[in-house]
Each structure stands twice: as C-alpha cells, then as structure tokens.
Amino acid sequence: MSDTLPHIGEVLSSTVPMVRTLGLRYVETTAERAVVSLPDHPDYRNHVGGPHAGAMFTAGESASGAVVLGAFGDELTRAVPLPVRVEVAYTKIATGEVRATATLGRPAAEVVAELDAGRRPEFPIEVVLTREDGAETGRMTVVWTLRPNR
C-alpha cells in the first residue's frame, strides 16, 4: 500500500502524549514511509543550541511507529506492535526544524507470513534525521516486533 494515510498522524497525535508535548507533525504517512517534523523550540534545545538528542530520538521513533501502523494496522486485532531495540547515531549538530524520515526495512508480506506461521516476526525501520538545509544529522534503526495476542 502506498497511498497517503493522513489519519495515522491524527491518531498518533491524539493518543500519544509525547507527540503532543513535542509538537511533532506528521508530514507524510504511508505503509512504507513516514516523515515527522520536530519544530525548533527553545525548550527543546541542548547545550550547543540544537534539539536535544532525546527529542530527536522521539521524532525518529514516532516516525517508525507511523510506518508500523501503516504497514501492519490490519494485524492489530491479533498482534501488538512493540519496539525491541534501537541503534542511533548522531552525526552532525542539528539546528532548526528536524525531520525524521522512516522507511520499512522488510517487505510487509514477509512479516505477515511469519505472523501467519505462528512466529513473532522482527523487522527494522530505518530512520534518517535531517535539518532544515537537508543535511543528515543522524540515523536510527528501530527494530519492531509483532507480538501475537494470546
């Protein structure tokens, strides 16, 4: 599925308090990709004037969650999506608004096939963090699972 799914951003904005706290904005949400914007706000800045690493992490993790809902929303009656582990690298100082662009790292059909086979699939979501001028400031890999309901 590659149609834009704007309701995912609305759902996450209304149900996840941290999304509202940071003023995250869902720019794009599809089953393969999501883009989340972290506004430039003085309260979110660190000691070097850029957004705090925790705020950037939250933007990236939130973008990855939007991809999970887009790709696997139809599976929520039989499995719970959970992040398993995250690897993050901050490569440049971010300034201004930061965007987190997340993409699904495995075909959704493979993940669903594992779930159908009674397994607990894991799958990566790759996230690129960029600042307003387009420069990459970091990367994340968020590994998610679909835990079957019991």
Topology of the domain covering 6-148: Thiol Ester Dehydrase; Chain A (3.10.129)
pLDDT digits (tens, 9 = 90+) for 90-147: 999 998 999 999 999 999 999 999 999 999 999 999 999 999 999 999 999 999 999 9
- Whole-prediction pTM: 0.93
What gap in Å lies between CA 132 and CA 136, rounded to an integer?
10
Domain ranges, ordered by start, for the chain: 6-148
pLDDT digits (tens, 9 = 90+) for 22-48: 999 999 999 999 999 999 999 988 888
| Residue 94 near residue 137, CB atoms below 8 Å | yes
